[in-house]
Amino acid sequence: MSEAGAGSGRAPSGTTATPGGTLAHRVPDLGALELLLAVARLGSLGRAARELGITQPAASSRVRTMERMLGVALVERSPRGSRLTDAGVLVTDWARRIVEAAEAFDAGAQALRGRRDSRLRVAASMTIAEYLLPGWLIALRTRRPGTAVSLFAGNSSAVAERLLAAEADLGFVEGLAVPPGLDGAVIGHDRLVVVTAPGHPWARRRTPLDAAELAATPLILRERGSGTRQVLDAALASQGGVAEPLLELASTTAAKAAVVSGAGPSVLSELAVGEELAARRLVEIPVPGVGLRRDLRAVWPTGHRPTGPARDLLGLTR
* Backbone dihedral angles phi then psi of residue 147, each to the nearest 5 degrees: -90, 125
Q: Report pTM.
A: 0.62
Sequence-separated (6 or more) residues with CB below 8 Å from residue 24: none
Task: Express each pLDDT in 90-146 by its tens digit.
Answer: 999 999 999 888 888 877 777 666 555 578 999 999 889 999 999 999 999 998 888
Side chain identity at 46, as an amino acid letter?
G
**Which of 259, 257, 252, 292 is CA-nearest to residue 131?**
252
Q: How do beta strands 148-154 and 247-249 pair?
A: unpaired
pLDDT for residue 7: 41
Instruction: Inform me whether the pLDDT recorded for 216 exceeds 80.
Output: yes
* Least confident piece of the model among 113-122, 219-228, 240-249, 256-265: 113-122
In this structure, are strands 220-222 and 247-249 parallel, antiparallel, or unpaired? parallel
**Taking a C-beta distance cutoff of 8 angstroms, is the pair 91, 70 a contact?**
yes
pLDDT tens, 61-85?
Answer: 999 999 998 999 999 887 777 888 9
State the average pLDDT over residues 290-301: 94
What percentage of the chain reaches a pLDDT higher than 90? 66
Domains of the chain: 3-114 (1.10.10.10), 120-313 (3.40.190.290)
What is the average pLDDT value for the chain, to the nearest integer?
A: 88
Q: What is the pLDDT of residue 2?
A: 37
Q: Nearest 10 degrees: CA dihedral of 24, 30, 36, 39?
A: -160
